[in-house]
Chains A and B, each alone.
Chain A
Amino acid sequence: MANPFDKRATEFLSDDGAFLSVVAPDPITSSFASAGQKGTLYDRLVRIIGTPGSGKTTLARVFALKTVGALLRNPNAYKEITAALTATAVLENRQLRIAGCRLPMESEYRDFWELPYAEHVRLGLMENLIQARAVLGWLRGLEALGIPEDVITVQHRSLSNAALEAIGGETGTGLRKRAEKIEKAVYGVSAALVPPPLEELPEDATLPYHPFNVLSMLRAVTEEGELSLKPLVILDDTHALHPRQFNHLMTWLSRREIPIARWMMTRLDALDAQDVLFSQEDQGSFANLEPGRDYENIWLQGEPGNYGEKAYKTRFCRMARTMANRYLQLMPVMERRKLVDFERLLSNDPKNLPEGKCAELREEVKKRQFDLDLPQNIYSDLARSVNDYLRKSKSFDKGTDLELQMLLILMERFVRRIPQRDLFTSVEEEEPEASEDLTKRLNVNSALADGARVHLMHRFGRPYYYGISGVCGASGHNAQQFLRLSRPLVDLAETRAVRQKGDKPVLLTAADQDKRLIEQAKALIEEWSFPEVEGVRNLVRGIGAWCVSRTLEENAPLGGGATGVGVPQVEFERMARKRSRLAQVLHFAVAYNAVEISQRRLVKHKEWTTIELGGAVRVAHGLTLLDGGFVEKRVQDLENLIAVEEH
């Protein structure tokens, strides 16, 4: 039976109605609301940036005419999306205001760069194909809405008659005929086995054709009245273009005199490696263009260096829940059994370790107290502080096993914090106030509890990755990865639903979830397929091993543990500017969610760049999903990692 969670994104659903029924409205409002309020969504170039799977294409499809048309046929069925599109001014009183058309910038556009012509000819061919396709896209979209081309007219900027003639005149039919001719001619040039000599280029491919400069509105008189739409072109996947083509698009579409709305969607790796590796404030201005003034940037996962933003994570979890619930509704078995609340399928109780293991831990605590020469009064203080913390904690997870492991870590921390003793002085003989003071200073908090949980996972296989927050964290807050990681959980829940008789609720234990999430995370890494993939695998494998080693130190020095490495800022900048192999590997590692980079973190009075492992990599290595610390390293250490060749 088909599992919709196996589809990579909602863009796979070819039916617009089905598509609308699974799209979560949150990303539309959260990503576009700010630009919408500022009024910059449709009056200048908007650049929408995200990693693969962050939902760029899904967003682009929501704004396309064909999808909005399906929505308008039954707006009550998709109230939330209708509200989101109203908030972004696509709709006004359920009347369409924006005519959106999505153009994927596939390899054929990049192919223009390989043609044996002068740069301006190659760029001109690309511009012509984009404009012709956009015009055809708008007309086809309107046709899907039941508005034939012969009732469409053009509102244009008062340019010369020649410019208007060049785009096919003022009617929809004229526009379509001209655009089809241009498309066919330009397409023929880019797809030719042997490109024609410059002088033999078809006239239609090279003549001036500037509908983006001329068109300001598309008008149609329908039975419901007059419709006046602002054309919007959404150039998707612009990362596939040559960097010079990409830069040209930026410069061309940033021109303020262009009356149509235009968006460029791109993956992080289309930007210069320095754009990816440095946060926006560290970047210079782009081709003399100023973000905010000449174009608007919308970062779907937060700006580089700011991925960890708590508000984004909260928003993501809300959106992921909605998305998962909508996907569950597409599964007949789950729908029939009313098992359409993803969160309620996942237990949040990791269960205490069996009594035998707890006894083992108790023994270890006793032995360690003896080995560390820890006086009973201090031991009691430490035990009491752990007990007090857990008693007040709102977490489901506060069993004896956790308490004992926290105590073990705390004892180690206590011993490491007191000054080195001479051979003949025991802790009891030291100033009593000093010891008490130390006990207070040893923070018993959620980070300590998280560290204890991670230790228990590695030592006894106690579940750590479970619950909706576990799945969201494991996904690195990426929609596509969230769906992929959820798939085996949903499969299991579906099987239980089929096998379980009666109305008994289906609940996956924390152990079930943990096992499947780890397996799936490893499978996702195994399936990685992108440039420099081996370098990225070696890099994360090495960083993962360092983090595990640091995390499992007896005193859990970084609380929940390490989740990445930190290198001195100065060294990192030098490396990134050199455009070394490491810079290249990091570029793709960031672009494909393998790592996240934060710049200029001030720790121990020094500036660091941290390279933190992505969600799936953390799960595969058994690392914390909460904010972790980092292992101090040098750039050379990272370069050594990627130099390892697999045999």
Chain B
Amino acid sequence: MSGDWILHRGSEVREFCEKYFGQRDRNVALIAGAGFDPRSGVIAEMLATIIPGDLSAIFLRELRPHPESGLQSIATDNAGELARIITQSATRSINVLSEDNAVTAGREAVKAVREEFDGRNVTDVIIDLSALSMGVSLPLLRYFHKLTTTEAPELNLHAMIAHSTELDANISRETSDKVTPIHGYDAEYKLRHDKGETLLWLPQLAPGLRATFERMYEFLDPDEVCPILPFPTRNPRLGDDLLREYLPLIEDAWEVEPGDLVYASEESPLDLYRTLLKVSEERDQVHQKTGGSLVVVSPAGAKLPALGAALAAIRSHVALVYTERLDYELEGQAERYGKDAEPEVIHLWVSGDPYDGGIRSA
């Protein structure tokens, strides 16, 4: 347990999976990405050894307009390998972008998974975020969370990640020029902002995204900005490097006061989650009589803080806004993450039995 959440990491995860998913009455469905990411098979492999009989899977293959041919062939190999590991599985392709580059990832993912789940008898859904992009994984998290708290209270929802900051740093991205809420995390921010709620924007800074954040700033037109810097981090210089990269924006364009920087661990989803809830609650009190407060987070970079932001959005009135990735490039170590960057598996029980029918959402 970690505060109000059940969280396991490293060796605890396997132990938990054996004890819990290994029970006879568990009927588990895994949703994972079948892409180029070397982590795509880590969790599937582990679960297949623990619950070989009662495990089914839906693998999502994210399609983008001009994939790099090398990565495409790795993705095909990975998809084949995943289908071999879990035989009761289906692979669905998701168009992340439409022909005119509009973001369709979230809607397509929810639609595909709903179709695949139709009529299935499942007790536990595991969303493996390791090889799924945020635009796909977070709407699925929201969809299943809503399901567990409304129509299917008997269903348990788990999030798992094979976490490797080194690998995340090796994946470079070309981003879309369209800023959009992550599907399901809109929180009516537009209506609320138009009505005069004070907008606080928290961009999760990551290397090489200056133009993207500039575009987001222009799009959101926030009243205040509190950039999120990773700390603690495996690379101790990361925070300084990001500050150097973003200083002109932080200081001049966004006019951020030094005390307004937010620090969040890149090794845990709950650090940012708790910070966001605190910020949101305190601002609600302050702005109660002056038109209300609106918190918008832009997750980017490491996946664990992004998961934390999603949990905060589910629990509170926080909106998530992002730009979708048009293309990926994997620098070095294309086939595997390397000995020094072995991913750590993390499990978070999002909703279900231990939370008395699911966590309370806003």
Contacts and interface: CB of A to CB of B under 8 A. Distances in A.
B192 to A, nearest CB: 11
B255 A2 contact: yes
Contacts of B100: 242-243
A193 B255 contact: no
B68 A645 contact: yes
B110 A8 contact: no
Given A242-B98, A242-B100, A114 B188 contact: no
Contacts of B104: 114
Interface in A74-128: 104, 106-108, 110-111, 113-114
B184 to A, nearest CB: 4
Kindly state the interface size class of chain B when it binds its partner: 35 or more
Contact of B251 (A2, A104, A108, A133): A2
Contacts of B191: 183-184, 187
B252 A2 contact: yes
B223 A14 contact: yes
A531 B114 contact: no
- Please indicate which of the listed interface residues B107, B176, B219 has the most CB atoms of chain A within 10 Å of its own CB: B107
A193 B110 contact: yes
Interface in A135-173: 136, 140
Given A527-B211, A531-B177, A113 B102 contact: yes
A344 B245 CA distance: 31
Contact of A14 (B181, B186, B190, B221): B221
B326 interface: yes
Contacts of B184: 193
Contacts, number: 95
Interface string B166-190: 0000000011111111011010101
B362 interface: no
A403 to B, nearest CB: 42
Contacts of B179: 106-107
Contacts of A140: 194
B252 A3 contact: yes
Given A14-B223, A183-B191, A533-B174, A193 B218 contact: no
A110 B249 CA distance: 29
A6 interface: yes
B139 interface: yes
B177 A191 contact: no
A534 interface: yes
Nearest to A243: B100
B143 interface: yes
Contacts of B102: 107, 110-111, 113-114, 240, 242
A12 interface: yes
Interface in B194-233: 194, 210-212, 214-215, 217-219, 221, 223
Contacts of A285: none
A193 B139 contact: yes
A39 to B, nearest CB: 33
Contact of A529 (B68, B114, B177, B190): B177
B146 interface: yes
A278 B355 CA distance: 61
Contacts of A183: 191
Given A14-B221, A107-B181, A191-B186, A531 B176 contact: yes
A7 interface: yes
Interface in B140-170: 142-143, 146
A531 B211 contact: no
Contacts of B190: 106, 108, 187
A255 B128 CA distance: 51
Contacts of A528: 211
Nearest to B326: A531
Contacts of A532: 66
B28 to A, nearest CB: 23
A234 to B, nearest CB: 15
Contact of A8 (B186, B253, B255, B327): B253
Contacts of B253: 6-8, 12
Nearest to B139: A193
Interface residues of A, number: 39
Q: Which of the listed residues A187, A240, A529, A530 has the most CB atoms from chain B within 10 Å of its own CB?
A: A529
Interface string A1-34: 0111011110110100000000000000000000
Contacts of B177: 529-531
A423 interface: no
A529 B212 contact: yes
A269 to B, nearest CB: 9
A187 B178 contact: no
B57 interface: no
Given A529-B174, A533-B174, A194 B252 contact: no
B101 interface: yes
Interface string A191-203: 1011000000000
A9 B66 CA distance: 32
Nearest to A240: B178
Nearest to B219: A106
A589 to B, nearest CB: 14
A246 to B, nearest CB: 9
B221 A193 contact: no
Nearest to B218: A8
Contacts of B107: 111, 114
Nearest to A487: B248
Contacts of B180: 106-107
Interface string B56-98: 0000000001101000000000000000000000000000001
A194 B178 contact: no
B212 A194 contact: no
A2 B194 CA distance: 28
B327 to A, nearest CB: 8
B175 A529 contact: yes
A443 to B, nearest CB: 43
B209 to A, nearest CB: 8
Contacts of B175: 529
B218 A12 contact: yes
A272 to B, nearest CB: 11
B43 interface: no
B103 interface: yes
Nearest to B221: A14
A104 B251 CA distance: 27
B212 to A, nearest CB: 6
Contacts of B255: 2
A133 B194 CA distance: 10
A238 to B, nearest CB: 12
Contact of B103 (A12, A107, A534, A645): A107
A531 B215 CA distance: 14
Contacts of A111: 102, 107
Contacts of A136: 194
Interface centre among B98, B102, B146, B223 (most CB of A within 10 A): B102
A532 B175 CA distance: 10
Given A107-B178, A184-B191, A527-B210, A193 B142 contact: yes
A538 B139 CA distance: 35
Given A8-B214, A530-B177, A194 B110 contact: yes
B252 A7 contact: yes
Interface string B11-28: 000000000000000000
A506 B101 CA distance: 47
Nearest to B108: A114
Contacts of B251: 2
Nearest to A183: B191
B174 A534 contact: yes
Contacts of B223: 14
Given A8-B253, A12-B253, 15 more contacts: A4-B252, A6-B253, A7-B252, A7-B253, A106-B180, A110-B102, A111-B107, A140-B194, A183-B191, A184-B191, A191-B188, A194-B143, A242-B100, A531-B177, A534-B174
12 contacts: A3-B248, A107-B178, A110-B102, A111-B102, A136-B194, A140-B194, A187-B191, A191-B186, A193-B184, A240-B178, A529-B212, A534-B327
3 tightest Cβ-Cβ pairs between the two chains A and B = A107-B180, A529-B211, A6-B252
